[in-house]
Amino acid sequence: MSTPSELYRNAIDLNRFSNSVAKRIAVTYNDLILDAVDQLRGIDELAAPAKAARLRAILAQLKRSLDGWAGTSTLAVAEDLQGLAELQSEFVANELRRALPIELRSQIRSVQISPQFAQSVATVDPTAINVVSLSDDLQAAVAGSPQTFQLTAAQGTTITLPNGKVLQKSFRGLAESQADLFAKTVRNGLLTGESTDEIARQLKGRLRFGQPGSLRQIAQAGGQVTAVANNQVNAMVRTSINQVANETSQQVYKANQDVTKRYRYVATLDSRTSAICRALDGQEFDYGKGPTPPQHFNCRSTTVPVIDYKGLGIEPPPPSQLRRPNSAFKGARAVRGEGVPDNETYGQWLDKQSKATKQDVLGKSKVPYFNRLVNKFGPTDAIRKFVSADGSELTLEQLKRRYPND
């Protein structure tokens, strides 16, 4: 019998996939900027009228190029999301089967992804259509006990980024803002007497064609119109992948509520995890009644099903088999290890960390307060008391007012 461990590792694989997709999109964007910068360097020797005309042509071409990049990027990411949804659906269904004895595995229902599912996620404005209630459809499907049912394009349109925008609008907005920023930087530089070399350094930083390294390293090498844009591309891609993967997983779980009636929210156990995800980690919810990732841009959290072993009349796997990875990242602040117990919450994990790690997570002034709350409420509840009802992290003063005697 398998364990949910593979579902935890799946979150790590999704992170690697996100990095790969985001880097491909960002490098294409960077090449367009670098090409425009190279063209800019050739205007110094032109006479004033010709120089102005050439500058207008360069800026107009860049605007067209970035608009085209936004369109092709949307379609490329949509294709990646489609493939991800199909793989994720089958992966989760298989993991549910492996979590059961052989004689019960045939009970698991699969979810067939519509060919237009991810494209609708990326390109359709959910406010402009009548969205089908996915939960109602699934309940009806489950009532009929089919082995497979459809996750349609219309249902896919419920998936948007945390700011309510679909990918298409996000990429177009980024392209427009960066074209405007490029033009503004060039014009301001020329008006203040800067050379094109000086302007070029502002625009691209140390970035060059074929820049090696991770997307984070490439962004750090960039200038005004590459560094921020690269980070935004990374955030959009990572968040959309998280959204599609978690939404797909949730639908497979919902289709199998005779096996799993609840899900557990799972955050990454490292110092980069947000306050809301730290608080939600380990909490269990009925399907359709609780929060799901992403809770914010760059969210790395996931969900795992809570198998109803008692209802199925079978014994759960021994605790020694239920492990979750410590971290999906290898940054300097990431906490490494062989894994922690499946039911260990973020608060319990943090309580065992060094003073330096606690300060990195909470801030130096809040660590003593966390320790006091742990003594009174336990580590799991203590970390949850650092978040307000709307999901924002409480300040130290707010904590003191809320818990004056602690």
How does pLDDT run across 110-149, given as a tens digit for each residue?
A: 888 777 666 655 554 433 322 233 333 333 333 333 343 3
SS3 of 43-66: HCCCCHHHHHHHHHHHHHHHHHHH
Q: Span 250-271, mean pLDDT?
A: 91
Q: Mean pLDDT across the chain, nearest whole number?
A: 81
Radius of gyration of the CA atoms of the chain, in A: 25
Helix or strand (DSSP H, E) at 192:
none
Do residues 246 and 300 make contact, with C-beta atoms less than 8 angstroms apart? no
Class of residue 305 by CB neighbours under 10 A (exposed 0-12, middle 13-18, buried 19+): buried
Q: Residue 298: which pLDDT band, with cuts at 50, 70 and 90?
A: confident
What pLDDT sits at residue 8? 57
pLDDT digits (tens, 9 = 90+) for 139-189: 333 333 334 333 333 333 334 455 556 777 889 999 999 999 999 999 999
What pLDDT sits at residue 5? 58
Q: Is the dihedral of CA 239, 215, 220, 55 positive or negative?
A: negative
Question: CA–CA distance from 173 to each of 69, 164, 165, 393 (Å)?
Answer: 12, 13, 10, 29
What pLDDT sits at residue 348? 95
pTM of the full predicted structure? 0.80
Q: What is the percent of the chain with per-residue pLDDT over 70, rounded to a whole number?
A: 79
Tokens 């698991």 map to which residue? 108
Q: Count Cβ neighbours within 10 Å for each residue of 129-166 and write b for 16 or more, e otherwise.
A: eeeeebeebbeebbeeeeeebebbbbbbbbbbbeeebb
Q: Residue 10: which pLDDT band, with cuts at 50, 70 and 90?
A: confident
Name the residue ranges covered by the structural domains of the chain: 5-235, 344-406
Phi and psi at residue 237, in whole multiples of 5°? -70, -50
Q: Span 237-255, mean pLDDT?
A: 88
- Is pLDDT at 358 greater than 90 in this prediction? yes
What pLDDT sits at residue 391? 82
What pLDDT sits at residue 123? 56
Helix or strand (DSSP H, E) at 357:
helix 355-362
Say which residue, 383 or 294, is predicted with more confidence.
383
Cα 201 from Cα 37, distance rounded (Å): 9
Class of residue 252 by CB neighbours under 10 A (exposed 0-12, middle 13-18, buried 19+): buried
Q: Residue 352: which pLDDT band, with cuts at 50, 70 and 90?
A: very high
Q: Residue 230: which pLDDT band, with cuts at 50, 70 and 90?
A: very high
Q: What is the percent of the chain with per-residue pLDDT over 90, rounded to a whole number?
A: 45
Cα 78 from Cα 308, distance rounded (Å): 35
- Of 187, 176, 177, the residue nearest 43 (C-alpha): 187
What pLDDT sits at residue 279? 94
Q: Span 299-309, mean pLDDT?
A: 90
Range scoring the smallest mean pLDDT among 15-29, 299-313, 336-350: 336-350
- Of 131, 122, 129, 130, the residue nearest 158 (C-alpha): 131
pLDDT digits (tens, 9 = 90+) for 62-92: 999 999 999 999 888 888 888 888 889 899 9
